[in-house]
């Protein structure tokens, strides 16, 4: 089950966090993994870790907000079976405290970046009459989270794009779903806490963990397992869905 032998899997943001965990897991299941990332050092570490453990991985340095660069990468890859849109950035701010520069930055990466990859991947999948797309949304696109105005906007757009793609290409054999994680303990969270709460990291981890009914943040590997399943042949009847993976955050927080 969950066999990806002889399948090409493209993962944006595969150098760290959820993307890294997904890249490693797909490779363990036999996939030929293509990592697209702007962080060359971290992406090379992920690729090397996969190859050193007998897996197949190729890294492409690319800013997904640049359509021509994305086009070049997908043309180099040639054909793909699975696309995982994991790359994204966050932002803290309300509508009246978010600068136009930060708003545009969030839009350019989190929305346009996903669009750019969809724009290039879908024709390749249509040519094969088969393909799977998995987008990373967030609980921030489902419920109101304090001071996440631009980020929430971008993740709501990702969910909407998911539904549109699922509807438009269902007769082409393409499935498209998204998942909406709550807080996940990643290097991004570590860096954020170190920058904004120096000396209070442990205290803030406890505080953030308590916002989720299950009492902790998720591990990237837990998110990766859901991604793997939704992209597998075993999930062939699932399309046009958004799956919260949130430790009860959406339904159990009162």
pLDDT at res. 162: 98
pLDDT at res. 190: 86
- Bigger pLDDT: 192 or 29? 29
The neighbouring-strand residues paired with 162 are none
Percent of the chain whose pLDDT exceeds 70: 100
pLDDT at res. 155: 98
102 exposed, middle or buried (CB, 10 Å; 0-12, 13-18, 19+)?
A: middle
Instruction: Give the tens place of pLDDT for each residue, 216-237.
Output: 999 999 999 999 999 999 999 9
Cβ atoms < 10 Å from Cβ of 32: 20
If you write DSSP's letter for every residue of 200-238 in order, what string do you get?
Answer: -HHHHHHHHHHTSTTSSPBPHHHHHHHHHHHTSGGGTT-
pLDDT at res. 188: 79
Structure tokens at 51: 């190859």
Query: Is residue 46 within 8 Å of residue 15, measured between CB atoms?
Result: yes
Percent of the chain whose pLDDT exceeds 90: 92
pLDDT-derived band at 82, boundaries 50, 70, 90: very high
pLDDT at res. 103: 98
Whether residue 253 is predicted with pLDDT greater than 90 in this model: the reply is no
Averaged over 54-59, what is the pLDDT?
A: 98
Averaged over 7-35, what is the pLDDT?
A: 98
pLDDT at res. 212: 92
Which member of 34, 151, 197, 243 is catalytic?
Answer: 151
The neighbouring-strand residues paired with 175 are 132
Q: pTM of the prediction?
A: 0.96
Largest CA distance in the chain: 54
151 is a catalytic site residue = yes
pLDDT-derived band at 189, boundaries 50, 70, 90: confident
Closest to 28 measured CA to CA, from 3, 58, 48: 3
Instruction: Give the tens place of pLDDT for each residue, 114-140.
Output: 999 999 999 999 999 999 999 999 999
Query: How far is the C-alpha of 148 from the C-alpha of 87, rounded, in Å?
Result: 18
If you write DSSP's letter for every residue of 37-90 in order, what string do you get?
Answer: ES-HHHHHHHHHHHHHTT-EEEEEE--TT-HHHHHHHHHHH---SEEEE-----
pLDDT at res. 181: 97
pLDDT-derived band at 192, boundaries 50, 70, 90: confident
Whether residue 65 is predicted with pLDDT greater than 90 in this model: the reply is yes
Closest to 16 measured CA to CA, from 174, 184, 156, 137: 184
Whether residue 254 is predicted with pLDDT greater than 70 in this model: the reply is no
pLDDT at res. 69: 98
Instruction: Give the tens place of pLDDT for each residue, 137-162.
Output: 999 999 999 999 999 999 999 999 99
CA distance readout (Å), 149 to 102, 105, 107, 145, 179: 11, 13, 12, 8, 19
Query: How far is the C-alpha of 175 from the C-alpha of 168, rounded, in Å?
Result: 10
pLDDT at res. 196: 78
Closest to 43 measured CA to CA, from 68, 72, 64, 29: 64
pLDDT at res. 3: 96
The alpha carbon of residue 158 and the mean position of all alpha carbons in its chain are separated, in whole angstroms, by 10
pLDDT at res. 195: 82
């Amino acid at each position: 089950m969950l066999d990806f032998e002889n399948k090409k899997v493209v993962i944006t943001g595969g150098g760290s966090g959820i993307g890294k965990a997904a890249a490693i897991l797909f490779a363990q299941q036999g996939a030929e993994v293509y990592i697209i990332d702007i962080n060359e050092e971290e992406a090379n570490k992920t690729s090397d870790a996969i190859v050193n453990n007998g897996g197949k991985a190729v890294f492409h340095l690319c800013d997904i907000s640049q359509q021509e660069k994305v086009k070049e990468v997908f043309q180099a890859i040639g054909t793909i079976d699975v696309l995982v849109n994991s790359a994204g950035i966050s932002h803290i701010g309300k509508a009246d405290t978010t600068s136009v520069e930060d708003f545009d930055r969030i839009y350019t990466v989190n929305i346009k970046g996903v669009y750019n990859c969809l724009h290039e991947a879908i024709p390749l999948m249509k040519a094969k009459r088969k393909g799977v797309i998995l987008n990373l949304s967030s609980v921030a696109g489902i419920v109101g989270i304090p001071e996440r105005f631009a980020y929430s906007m971008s993740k709501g757009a990702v969910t909407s794009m998911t539904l549109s793609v699922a509807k438009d290409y269902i007769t082409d054999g393409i499935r498209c779903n998204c998942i909406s994680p709550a807080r996940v303990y990643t290097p991004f969270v570590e860096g954020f806490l170190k920058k904004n709460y120096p000396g209070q990291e442990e205290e803030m981890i406890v505080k953030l963990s308590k916002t989720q009914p299950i009492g902790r943040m998720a591990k990237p590997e837990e998110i990766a397992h859901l991604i793997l399943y939704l992209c597998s042949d075993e999930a062939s009847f699932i399309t046009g869905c958004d799956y919260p993976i949130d430790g009860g955050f959406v339904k159990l927080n009162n």
